[in-house]
Amino acid sequence: MAALHAVLQRPNNRQAQKIDERRRRYILAFVSYITSAVMFIYGFKNLYSEQVLLPVILFGTGLAFLLNILWFHLSRNLQRACVIEAVLVGGFVLSLVYQGGFNNTALYWVFPFPAILFGLLGVRIALLSNALLVLMLCIMLFIPDLILAQYKDAEASRFIASLLIVIIVCWINDHYRERSHQAMDLLQQSKEMQANTDALTELANRRFIDASLLPSLALQPAQFFPLSLIMCDIDHFKQLNDRFGHDAGDDVLKAVAQLFRKCLRQHDFACRTGGEEFLLILPHTNSADAFLVAEKIRSQLAQQALLANQPEYHITASFGVALCDNAEDFTQAVKHADEQMYLSKRNGRNQVN
Judge whether 115 lies within some domain.
yes
Pick the closest to residue 124 from 186, 185, 174 (CA basis). Answer: 174
pLDDT of residue 189: 63
Judge whether 228 lies within some domain.
yes
**In a shared domain, residues 221 and 147:** no
Q: How far apart are CA 109 and CA 99, in angstroms?
A: 13
What DSSP line would sit under 201-213, residue for residue? T-SB-HHHIIIII
Phi, psi at residue 89, to the nearest 5°?
A: -60, -50
**In a shared domain, residues 322 and 246:** yes
Q: What share of the chain is helix, strand, coil (3-state, %, to 5)?
A: 70, 10, 20
pLDDT of residue 308: 74
Judge whether 201 lies within some domain.
no
Where is the domain boundary, 188, 219, 240? 188
Judge whether 248 lies within some domain.
yes
Spell out the residues 6+ positions from residue 167 whose beta carbon is closer than 8 angstroms to its own.
114, 127, 130, 131, 134
* Distances 197 to 133, 192, 230, 297 between C-alpha atoms, Å: 50, 8, 19, 22
**In a shared domain, residues 294 and 153:** no
Q: What is the CATH number of the domain that holds 272?
A: 3.30.70.270
pLDDT of residue 1: 55
**In a shared domain, residues 103 and 172:** yes
pLDDT of residue 93: 93
Where is the domain boundary, 160, 188, 216? 188
**In a shared domain, residues 37 and 160:** yes
Establish whether the linkage from the previous residue to 215 is cis, with ω within 30° of 0.
no
Judge whether 352 lies within some domain.
no
Pick the closest to residue 204 from 280, 291, 297, 306 (CA basis). Answer: 280
CA dihedral sign, ordered 14, 273, 271, 214 = negative
Q: How far apart are CA 230 and CA 291, in angstroms?
A: 8
Pick the closest to residue 173 from 120, 123, 121 (CA basis). Answer: 123
DSSP state, residue 49: S
pLDDT of residue 176: 82
Pick the closest to residue 107 from 65, 152, 57 (CA basis). Answer: 152
Q: Indicate the residue type of 218.
A: A
Judge whether 134 lies within some domain.
yes
Judge whether 193 lies within some domain.
no
* Distances 165 to 125, 171, 172, 186 between C-alpha atoms, Å: 18, 10, 11, 31
Pick the closest to residue 31 from 117, 142, 144 (CA basis). Answer: 117
Domain count, the chain: 2
Q: Are 115 and 141 in contact (CB under 8 A)?
A: no
**In a shared domain, residues 181 and 88:** yes
pLDDT of residue 104: 85
Phi, psi at residue 114, to the nearest 5°?
A: -60, -40
Q: What length is written for the chain? A: 353
**In a shared domain, residues 116 and 149:** yes
Where is the domain boundary, 188, 215, 234? 188
Q: Would you write out the chain's pLDDT as a tens digit for each of its 353 residues?
A: 556 555 655 655 666 678 888 889 999 999 899 999 999 999 998 887 777 889 999 999 999 999 999 999 999 999 999 999 999 999 999 999 999 988 888 898 899 889 999 999 988 999 999 999 999 999 999 987 888 888 888 888 999 999 999 999 989 888 887 776 666 565 556 556 677 889 899 899 998 888 888 988 888 898 899 999 999 999 999 999 999 999 999 999 999 999 999 999 988 999 999 999 999 999 999 999 999 999 999 999 999 888 777 778 889 999 999 999 999 999 999 999 999 999 999 999 999 99
**In a shared domain, residues 341 and 295:** yes
Give the pairing type, strands 227-234 and 277-283: antiparallel
Residues assigned a catalytic role? 276
What DSSP line would sit under 149-178, residue for residue? S---HHHHHHHHHHHHHHHHHHHHHHHHHH
**In a shared domain, residues 117 and 242:** no
Q: In terms of residue numbers, what domain contains 249?
A: 206-346
Dihedral Cα 15, 17, 20, 25, nearest 10 deg:
-110
**In a shared domain, residues 23 and 163:** yes
Judge whether 176 lies within some domain.
yes
**In a shared domain, residues 108 and 151:** yes
**In a shared domain, residues 119 and 217:** no
